[in-house]
Amino acid sequence: MILIIDFGSQFNQLISRRVRENNVFCKIVPPDIAISSIKKLNPEGIILSGGPSSIYEKNSPKANKVIFDLNIPILGICYGLQFMVDALGGGVKYAKKREYGFAELNLKKQINVLEGINKKTNCWMSHGDSIESLPDGFVISASTDNTRIAAVYNTKRKLFGLQFHPEVEHTPQGKKIIRNFLFNICKCKKNWTMKSFAKESVSNIRDTVRDSKVILGLSGGVDSSVTASLIQKAIGKNLTCIFVDNGLLRKNEASQLKISLKQHLNINIRFVSAVNKFLKALSSVTDPEKKRKIIGKIFMDVFENEAAKIKNADYLAQGTLYPDIIESVSAFGGPTSVIKSHHNVGGLPKKMKLKLVEPLKYLFKDEVRKLGKELGLPDELIWRQPFPGPGLAIRIIGKITRQRLAVIRDVDELLLEEIRNAGYYKKLWQSFAVLLPIKSVGVMGDKRTYENIVAVRAVTSKDAMTADWAKLPHKLLAKISNRIINEVKGVNRVVYDISSKPPGTIEWE
């Protein structure tokens, strides 16, 4: 196994992902993990993640320096490298010129983790500090025009460091660098698979829940459907799923999913309508964080009311994924920045009667789809595009009314119909529309109109941590725009969002 010490990077789980892609098990832990715990885990290697702090700041996160004396191979990435350098007597300072984005990496030595890497290759930088001096025994193996020390090694002590991020897609040879660390340096074996993950998860769920009953919030998306299937394998009839119609779903989605879920999941499902409760609470709310908090609270109220009807229901299960967590809270104790609350993470009330079970919380969407395949779920459920827990509440910018919901539902239906007809549904990570809080002047039937603006958003991604706007054909965009304006009453202008993530997020709110 590989141990990953989390210093708070937004990308720290991508490191875990890259390790798992190579069928190697890994575990993410906070910086304050005890040396005795590390020895007990007995990892083949340790990776120190990046992070938002500066090592010279007063409260910057630090691990026990003794890790460097354990004779375990260690790879430091960005802040992880700076911690290594500082801990062993080197110097780190504020960089005169910060480096964010692509940079050309020039290799001085193609050895150890850089073995087989092109002498000149692109890499992804994201740092405001730089290494001024190296500890004894370290050698520079790569530089960029802006960063003299971009990669280092100390072969004798099995210590390696990268100032850039090999874990992100934007470093083209990053996967190879991580493979070099796993297999050439740490001598890991390929023995972790989605099948083994499923087996381990079922065992963990049984050990945690025992004879208690679990209630699962079932939305019909791949996350909650896979969660339901996994828990059902663990505890059988002790799982009860609840589908809540919050009034924020797509057009006819509640009725369609009711049929689909009963057909594909041999699980006890209760359908609850709480439309009026949600819409009344959201009627005058415009702030997106408040929307999420309100939805999370009512969601829990509904669940706890249902839980009261089920004897020994002590657990609430959710299909929470890692991107939800990393944007909402620090997943492993590191100082990760909060981007936005997710209704099933930061949106949940602090005091809950039910304990949480979240078996997918360290997985990405494509990994969940692989798990769904392993569990035998149909493509109809596995390949649904992600739909946010707060639903259309965060796709309506500003106030939520029944009239505005009707507009965005009609737009969404037409958009997805055209995306499917053009053969793009599975190619895109997400495709959706956003109703803006402003109106524009238009001309329809020789008359002046003053109506709503709709933004269409379509992105490609592998894990939702980063995403690029989809280069859809102009002919398809024109057809989508034409149909929306002509067929949806109340819309006279359609715009296309060409923002990537980062700097934007996938959803607008």
Question: pLDDT tens digits, residue range 427-441?
Answer: 999 999 999 999 999
Tell me, what's the pLDDT at 346?
A: 44
The alpha carbons of the chain give a radius of gyration, in whole angstroms, of 25
Cα 153 from Cα 174, distance rounded (Å): 17
Tell me, what's the pLDDT at 338?
A: 46
Cα 60 from Cα 7, distance rounded (Å): 9
The pTM of the whole model exceeds 0.75:
no
| Buried-exposed string 6-44: b where 16+ CB fall within 10 A, e elsewhere | bbbbbbbbbbbbbbbebebbbebbbbebeeeebeeeebb
Residues in the chain, pLDDT under 70: 323, 325-352
Tell me, what's the pLDDT at 343?
A: 44
Q: Which two tokens stand for residue 300?
A: 């829990």
- Residues labelled as active-site residues: 78, 165, 167
